[in-house]
Structure 1
Amino acid sequence: MTSLAEKLKKADIGKVLENEPLKNHTTLKIGGPADVFVEPKNSESLKVVMAIIKESGVPFRAIGRGSNLLVSDGGIEGVVIKLGDGLNHIERSGSEIRVGGGVSIITLATILAREGYKGLEFAGGIPGSVGGSVFMNAGAHGAEMADIVKEALILFPDGELRWLSNEELGFSYRTSILQEKGGICVEAVLVLEQGSKEEIMASLKKNKDYRRQTQPWNFPCCGSVFRNPLPNYAGQLIESSGLKGTTLGGAQISEMHANFIVNTGDATADDVLNLIALIQEKVLQEKGIQLETEVEIIGRKS
């Protein structure tokens, strides 16, 4: 990978690191090294990165702010592209907001609420990026990204960049077609309404406060581990199965919310994976329900 890293460095596309620990780039603070880690300085640099990767024929993976992500202890083969501060633009045109995939969804919600834009208050407390939120169709409090996304610029595994409409994105509960196709959201256009700044800010604060009071963000975590098998809720199923607070290695099922697994300080990906397997087995045995993960599990086997 050294020759590829050198080629990327010479292209002056932004940050390029070799064997970068991905625990430095995930909210769970877990993850082995990326062979090559790249953080493009802007969208034009991203296009150059993709051209070099395509020419080299190595696999790649894009990440945002690293929430909703469990990276294996063995790390990730090939190139990891972080859509970070180089893709943090926010442009307004009436009711339409064009925003880079690297923008924090919480930051965006706060900025737009202060300007009187209504429709993103549900994102108060969601710790991901705009790109990741589109990828997962993030949502809370009865609303989700599918409600406000008009279109998104998608980076496909073959290096193609193409705009997809809301319908083409194939949104459903905590999923989009991007998970099936392996596409990454580089940029999105949102459609929001104008409203009362005071009411919007109050709603945003209420959602943020609810998250702080009910979810364990005082520990490294990745957000909800399992999808809710509606009308049931994963956290309730796990808690009623007697698993709340269970610890394996450095990973623990949160004592605050059972659908969260927290890193108590030195957890490995295997610790978390073993807890996930334990939860799935116990809930299936006791409740007859197969829980499916919401967290995305990636990387080479350790």
Structure 2
Amino acid sequence: MDISGLIELCDKLGCRVTPECSLSEYITFKFGGPCRALISINSAESAKEILKYIKDNGIKYGVLGRGSNILASDEGFDGVILLFGGDFAEIEVNGDLMTCQSGALLAAACVRAQQLGLTGMENLFGIPGTIGGALYMNAGAYGSEMKDIVVSAEYIDDDFNIRSINAEDMDLSYRHSVFSGKNNIITSVTIRLKEGDPDEIKEAMNECMHKRSSKQPLEYPSAGSTFKRPEGSYASLLIEQCGLKGLTCGGAMVSEKHSGFVINKGFATCADVLELCDKVQKIVKEKTGYQLELEPEILK
């Protein structure tokens, strides 16, 4: 796969390119082999041109934000990765509306809102992802979800047009949006917040982080919650009831602190995590009848 022309295009567009980049540096699980090149997107127009070139030339590609809900293969990714990160992370505020480029960290948006006395994002503080990724999967925590605050978004469609979509057309449900499993790429997200007291908002954010740090194994690399919530129960409850806390495969372990998390003890591979998840799924199915579904997506 010749990507020299793509690299030339990226240089022309001012997008940084890192050849043979290890994905372990960009995945919160901290494992994964190399990709052919990692391209840091710097604008929606650049993304549009790069995507058109990629598709016209049959180049395999993947998309990453913070890498917080991704499993990356140990063998790597035989294609290029488009990174929607710090080079595409501007946040603009107009009254109670906040518009974020898709690479903006969700935590950064929460902090900006707090500084401006805008409430509505407190329970999302601490989710380790970008706002584009958060909308893609309708991220949520402690009773709040992106669908509660999103107004609209812009995205690149299959014909490389930048289009707008309103919240009511996004098909937002538990860990799902209209973008899930599709090639359309979110470029910006607009949310609506409410006026509030900055000190009260900060206190709520601190309380949220205290809950996370006291109940979740944040000291270890992971992809956050490993399994989706099955209808009628909770993945962590089922896993704990089956006595699977502390179960290991290689360097991967079901957290003893929160059974809904599979963690990297420091030397886990993607294969370790997938083997462990498969064991958990089989045992939970045999003992409870529930079929757990992986929440992270596999980059392949």
Shift of 1:13: 2.8
What amino acid does structure 2 have at the position aligned with 1:180? G
When the two structures are superposed, what TM-score results if normalisation uses the length of structure 2? Answer: 0.95
Identity %: 36
- Structure 2 residue 76 is matched with structure 1 residue 75: yes
Give the Cα–Cα distance (whole angstroms) in 1 for the partners of residues 280 and 48 of structure 2. 41
Shift of 1:225: 0.6
What amino acid does structure 2 have at the position aligned with 1:116? G
Gaps of 5+ in 1: none
- Any conservation in 1 of the 2:6–2:50 contact (CA below 8 Å)? no
Aligned to 2:184: 183
- Identify which range, 140-149 or 6-15, moves more after superposition: 6-15
After superposition, residues 23-34 of structure 1 pair within 5 angstroms as 23-34=24-35
- Any conservation in 1 of the 2:149–2:192 contact (CA below 8 Å)? yes
Give the Cα–Cα distance (whole angstroms) in 2 for the partners of residues 4 and 17 of structure 1. 15
Aligned to 1:146: 147
Give the length in aligned residue pairs.
299
- Any conservation in 1 of the 2:120–2:149 contact (CA below 8 Å)? yes
Aligned to 2:265: 264
- Structure 2 residue 15 is matched with structure 1 residue 14: yes
Give the Cα–Cα distance (whole angstroms) in 1 for the partners of residues 187 and 14 of structure 2. 16
Give the Cα–Cα distance (whole angstroms) in 2 for the partners of residues 243 and 253 of structure 1. 7
Deviations, residues 129-167 of structure 1 (Å, cap 9, x unaligned): 101100110001111001111111123455343211112
- Any conservation in 2 of the 1:248–1:274 contact (CA below 8 Å)? yes
Please report the RMSD computed on the Cα atoms of aligned residues, expressed in angstroms: 1.6
Aligned to 1:122: 123
What amino acid does structure 2 have at the position aligned with 1:149? V
- Identify which range, 127-136 or 178-187, moves more after superposition: 178-187
Aligned to 1:248: 249
Shift of 1:62: 1.3
Give the Cα–Cα distance (whole angstroms) in 2 for the partners of residues 202 and 80 of structure 1. 38
Give the Cα–Cα distance (whole angstroms) in 2 for the partners of residues 158 and 71 of structure 1. 28
After superposition, residues 66-105 of structure 1 pair within 5 angstroms as 66-105=67-106
Gaps of 5+ in 2: none
Aligned to 1:274: 275
- Structure 2 residue 213 is matched with structure 1 residue 212: yes
Give the Cα–Cα distance (whole angstroms) in 2 for the partners of residues 159 and 23 of structure 1. 30
Give the Cα–Cα distance (whole angstroms) in 1 for the partners of residues 96 and 143 of structure 2. 21
Shift of 1:40: 2.0
SS of corresponding position for 1:242:
coil
Shift of 1:3: 2.1
Aligned CA distance change for structure 1 residues 271 and 283 (closer, same or farther; 3 Å): same
- Any conservation in 2 of the 1:5–1:18 contact (CA below 8 Å)? no
Deviations, residues 29-67 of structure 1 (Å, cap 9, x unaligned): 111221221002333332332232233221322110110
Aligned to 1:38: 39
SS of corresponding position for 1:293:
coil
